[in-house]
Amino acid sequence: MKKIVVTTPSFGKFNPELIRQLEDDGYRVVRIVPFSRDALLAEVTDAHALIVGLEKVDEEVLNAAQNLKVIAKHGVGLDNIDLVAAEKRGIPVRNAPGANTQAVADLSFGLMIGLARSIPAANAVTKNGEWKRFDGVSVWEKTLGIVGLGAIGLAMARRAQGFGMKILGYEVMPPRDIEQSLGIVRVPLDELLSESDFVTLHVPLTPQTENLIGEERLRRMKPGAFLINTARGGIVDEAALYRALSEKWIAGAAIDAFVQEPPAGSPLLKLDNVIATPHIGAFTIESNINTSVITAQNVIDILDRT
């Protein structure tokens, strides 16, 4: 019986019949929820497949995994998995691209509107018994800069079209025809930052994108601009972002992804011009179901061949 170890509570959360189907098909599913590193190291020794969320899969885990045939990410970003070590051992790594596209784009656009109209702050003071005026800025017909024109970046462009926005895009991959139909104008990153009223980040965390948005680039942004990060925390230099926000280089930021999660003690959490959410971009019921189905199929496709 082939063994599948699951470390993320998201897998099958809204479609538990998926796990039952795997078991009915002859797989042994072991869930380490809540997550324990020690339990993972013990259970992975005879596992054939590993399904993970944000849990770290490093050299120590891979050294313990003597029979592992596949690592399946319940999501898209692979920065928590040591891809070099996995490749060295001949273990394929699969993710679920596209499964959470609309969920992340929804949150990103919602955070943008929340920043523009101070919605969290207005909600808080009203519930506290105050009746206070908040002078926001319009999203309508403003300029949106999208850093990363993958599936989520394109989904953001579709939403921006409905608000009559001018859309600037930055991407290292060659242009695609769909960009023109969505009204995206490709520009260099520094030009995008200096021209945009809202900048939204949708790139993976890689050595090339780590601290992509640091002090120099934050200073290029308009004083009235807002930054939205629902990608990965390491893409933004958080110390530089704190200075930019506290010294009013930019107007505000919405952060769904931090370098350290949870971001205990982060000074960013104390700023009034910051909206912070607990890395919830992918967490809708629909997205979770889609991701679980794709992840299960990724595992089955490889285990059925071995």
What confidence score (pLDDT) does residue 305 get? Answer: 86
β strands within 162-224, DSSP E: 166-170, 184-186, 198-201
Give the Cα separation of 63 and 68 in Å (integer).
Answer: 10
Supply the pLDDT for residue 306. Answer: 79
**pLDDT, tens only, 44-61:** 999 999 999 999 999 999
What pLDDT, in 10s, does the model give residues 105-133? 999 999 999 999 999 999 999 999 999 99
The pLDDT of 153-176, averaged and rounded, is: 97
Catalytic residues: 232, 261, 279
Tokens of 177: 């025809």
Q: What is the pLDDT of residue 77?
A: 86
Query: pLDDT grade, residue 235 (50/70/90)?
Result: very high
Bond before 34 cis per omega within 30 degrees? yes
Task: Kindly report the CATH number that applies to the domain delimited by 3-97+284-303.
Answer: 3.40.50.720
Please determine, for residue 194, whether its predicted confidence score (pLDDT) is greater than 90.
yes
Which pLDDT value is given to residue 63?
95
Strand order in the sheet with 70-73: 28-31, 3-6, 49-52, 70-73, 93-94
Q: What is the mean pLDDT of the chain?
A: 96
In CATH terms, 101-276 corresponds, of 3.90.1010.10, 3.40.50.300, 3.40.50.720, 3.40.640.10, to 3.40.50.720
With cut-offs at 50, 70 and 90, classify the pLDDT of residue 176: very high
d(CA 48, CA 2): 6
Is the fold of 3-97+284-303 the same as that of 101-276? Answer: yes
Query: 91 and 70 in contact (C-beta within 8 Å)?
Result: yes
Residue 188 confidence (pLDDT): 98
The answer to whether 256 and 111 are in contact (CB under 8 A) is: yes
Domain positions in the chain: 3-97+284-303, 101-276
The distance of Cα 249 from the centroid of its chain, to the nearest Å, equals: 25
